[in-house]
Structure 1
């Protein structure tokens, strides 16, 4: 984008410029680190004044810096230098607020090429005036024109959403979980780690020799843990399913076996765990820079789902979103476009799913589609396309057209955006924890936490 500054001779009294910015939790963390101001009043997950409420108040100087952004970028623009700035604070801004900063030229001084501007920051959502003030600046004297370019990006890499899930699950009783073939370090280590965090009570189903050898390799004890001997993976999956049927386990966890063996046992028409809906997979993702968990579905089980299957995909995702604390999940049904195109089947399905939610055939969440990826997750993109639904630009659940799109999206988030993911299969009588061999400890813990929270909600704490 081409940007030109306004030199002193071009400026006139009454000229104005504005910028809008969404104040995020990560902005506050970056500001705390850069400024050295670690006041807990400005940290999203801290109670800074002991009143039992996490404040996440935007620091005054952060809000004030939004004024300098207008001065340095727009009016007068490149080459501008501060002489002085006064600030009067009228209200507080918080993480999640969209703020508008405005400057207006009120006086020009020909003698030294200084300009006086009235400055203010408001919150457009309710019209609140956050701060007002007066700036005196040295205006540029030479015309500058250049293409804007981004500074090197910053990624605040912390598992804040997963940390909240672990804290939310901590008071729950451990979920008895049948762990199938935990015969290598990642799967056994993840189960033992979840046990240490009191998320699960594992029952290990597999080859006792391999399990013991793996525990020795990890330097971990298996004392007090039940082990059911079954070296054949298909039979181990059947025995784990039987533990659920008998009421001895409230969840399944995939170990070192092929996913299809686990699902075959769970889907068996006579002895399996069918509960009326299609089995669907949900990734719960902690994406750096995003102010909420992001759910992606279905990226692992249903290859080319038809409309009926997509109904179950959406409903299962809404259910798990509610279980992790999203009261009314916003579901964006993705397509290549945000308008219905009969030549693009996914856009037609998305529109039908949206209408089904309106008619209460899908319940518990807000569903909108078709949405393209940009206007599903970015408010500015949604505005550009004229979309004003409560979902557009702020979707918490993304429903993909098929497994190709879902798998690519989830892996792009993981490997390019540095997201962590928890994986769960829904639609069975109990949650099925489905981890990848490449998942780290936090992903495995988060998967167990999501399973525990969902099991607790669907059983009313009685399961």
Structure 2
């Protein structure tokens, strides 16, 4: 039995003169959500009954029914890859749908040769069963079998990556049941800045307190079609004073997080890092991008990409500890931290390799806690196990890094933006190390990224999901 779809293997056929009535072949695979998206894009069938997160029949629940023709295509995979195999061409296929498959089901496809005819024509009984042995589909296939023995190496068949962000969906699912956190939103005076806060409120992630120019906030709401009646507005048109008011609300217990609206980041952070009356702690502030990269099986965090321009060794230690603490709040018990440089060997001519090696030893000695820290690592061997193995790196982090620590802000910012614009990652942004999380959204963020930023802050503010 061959699991499908394979990523790399040689397939051989059974030519017509070797076929015997009664021969059988099977394949088993799990129907997952990405299969439904791939089929929707390939076929153009956007019926919401077949989309994983849509309610297609109005009952309030997504159906995620596997399309019948996708299930039927599993038969062609057995005929084309197993029996008769490469060189087979369809003549006809009858289909009778006797059940439904859904995302998450394990489906086994079976074919049995029932007759051989003239001109290489052969007939098969075909059926598909679910994990309970119940038939989903049955029918009969007529195909033209190959005349001679053939084999095919499927290694060069291009793969597919679905541009979905399921890790952010999980973050939202963790954050939405928690009590909404009181969030001081500073200067939400443009539609995009206001809409992100209101969207998070509608998802019960935050309770926004809007601090800024009431006239501009109301104009932004009118442009975005937002009803402001449920929300508190604090009249403070000066951005510096609005940021100071948000900080004071945190001190007074009236806010659990601060969210950047339409103002310069340095104006907001200037109030947060003030020695007197700010939100400083004993640790340096640092920015963390929490990224959902399509095709990656875990969240990826990139730090620091927005605050510390050329961090020294102690600042890098704080950056790492901030990211580890955030990872814990997001449900990652022992995050793997890769400290990046251009190469994976210590080279005195490249100062970032020295810092990385020292930071690794600091973690070994308990000066950084809660995660596995290793470096220096180059980007390839930090995230790709094959690259790490090829270079002979033996490490619990190499190839599995969940937190990437950049040597400086420029490298971190470029890395995060490359992942966003080239790898189609979605990025949530939050500042850690203050007395409360600070939500930093970009004007280029889409709705999901804005929601995810608020979800990350909510989980950080509450210590994670219950």
CA deviation profile, 1:333-353 (whole Å, cap 9, x unmatched): 111111111111111111111
Give yes or no for contact 2:11–2:81 (8 Å, CA) kept in 1. Answer: no
SS at the partner of 1:439? Answer: coil
Whole-angstrom CA distance in 2 between matches of 1:354 and 1:294: 19
Give yes or no for contact 1:25–1:291 (8 Å, CA) kept in 2. Answer: no
Whole-angstrom CA distance in 1 between matches of 2:259 and 2:160: 36
Q: Where does residue 416 of structure 2 map in the other structure? A: 410
**Offset at 1:69?**
12
**Offset at 1:187?**
0.7
1:356 is aligned to 2:357: no
Give yes or no for contact 1:337–1:372 (8 Å, CA) kept in 2. Answer: yes
1:270 is aligned to 2:276: yes
Whole-angstrom CA distance in 2 between matches of 1:368 and 1:29: 38
Of 417, 427, 431, 1:425 maps to 431
Of 203, 210, 225, 1:204 maps to 210
Q: 1:365 to 1:32 in 2, by over 3 A?
A: farther
**Offset at 1:155?**
2.5
Q: Where does residue 164 of structure 2 map in the other structure? A: 158
Whole-angstrom CA distance in 2 between matches of 1:68 and 1:276: 65
Q: Which ranges of structure 1 fall in alignment gaps of 5 or more residues? A: 7-22, 37-42, 44-60, 72-76, 83-94, 96-136
CA deviation profile, 1:116-135 (whole Å, cap 9, x unmatched): xxxxxxxxxxxxxxxxxxxx
* TM-score of the aligned structures, taking structure 1 as reference length: 0.70
Q: 1:335 to 1:29 in 2, by over 3 A?
A: farther
Q: Where does residue 125 of structure 1 map in the other structure? A: none
Q: Where does residue 182 of structure 1 map in the other structure? A: 188
SS at the partner of 2:306? Answer: coil
**Offset at 1:144?**
11
Q: Which ranges of structure 2 fall in alignment gaps of 5 or more residues? A: 1-8, 13-29, 46-51, 53-71, 90-103, 105-144
Q: Where does residue 267 of structure 2 map in the other structure? A: 261
Q: Where does residue 345 of structure 1 map in the other structure? A: 351
Q: 1:226 to 1:364 in 2, by over 3 A?
A: same
SS at the partner of 2:428? Answer: strand
Q: 1:369 to 1:247 in 2, by over 3 A?
A: same
Number of equivalent positions? 368
Of 224, 239, 249, 1:243 maps to 249
SS at the partner of 1:331? Answer: strand
**Offset at 1:138?**
7.8
**Where does 1:137-176 land on structure 2 (aligned, <5 Å)?**
151=158, 153-176=159-182
CA deviation profile, 1:86-128 (whole Å, cap 9, x unmatched): xxxxxxxxx9xxxxxxxxxxxxxxxxxxxxxxxxxxxxxxxxx
Whole-angstrom CA distance in 1 between matches of 2:286 and 2:440: 11
Q: 1:69 to 1:436 in 2, by over 3 A?
A: farther
CA deviation profile, 1:273-295 (whole Å, cap 9, x unmatched): 00111010000001100101100
**Where does 1:245-394 land on structure 2 (aligned, <5 Å)?**
245-394=251-400
Moved more, 316-325 or 379-388: 379-388
Aligned residues: CA RMSD = 3.9
**Offset at 1:5?**
12
1:215 is aligned to 2:221: yes
Q: 1:239 to 1:386 in 2, by over 3 A?
A: same
CA deviation profile, 1:258-283 (whole Å, cap 9, x unmatched): 00000000011111000111010000
* TM-score of the aligned structures, taking structure 2 as reference length: 0.70
Q: 1:5 to 1:273 in 2, by over 3 A?
A: closer
SS at the partner of 2:463? Answer: helix
Whole-angstrom CA distance in 1 between matches of 2:275 and 2:321: 22
SS at the partner of 2:343? Answer: coil
Of 457, 463, 466, 1:451 maps to 457
Q: 1:405 to 1:171 in 2, by over 3 A?
A: same
Q: 1:173 to 1:142 in 2, by over 3 A?
A: closer
Whole-angstrom CA distance in 2 between matches of 1:407 and 1:272: 26
Q: 1:69 to 1:372 in 2, by over 3 A?
A: farther
**Where does 1:91-130 land on structure 2 (aligned, <5 Å)?**
none
**Offset at 1:27?**
7.2
Whole-angstrom CA distance in 2 between matches of 1:65 and 1:333: 47
CA deviation profile, 1:311-369 (whole Å, cap 9, x unmatched): 00100000111111111101111111111111111111111111111111100111111
SS at the partner of 1:408? Answer: helix
Q: 1:320 to 1:140 in 2, by over 3 A?
A: farther
Moved more, 240-249 or 254-263: 240-249
Structure 1 runs of 4+ aligned residues shifted over 4 Å read 3-6, 23-36, 61-71, 79-82, 137-145
CA deviation profile, 1:158-190 (whole Å, cap 9, x unmatched): 220111000101111110000000000011001
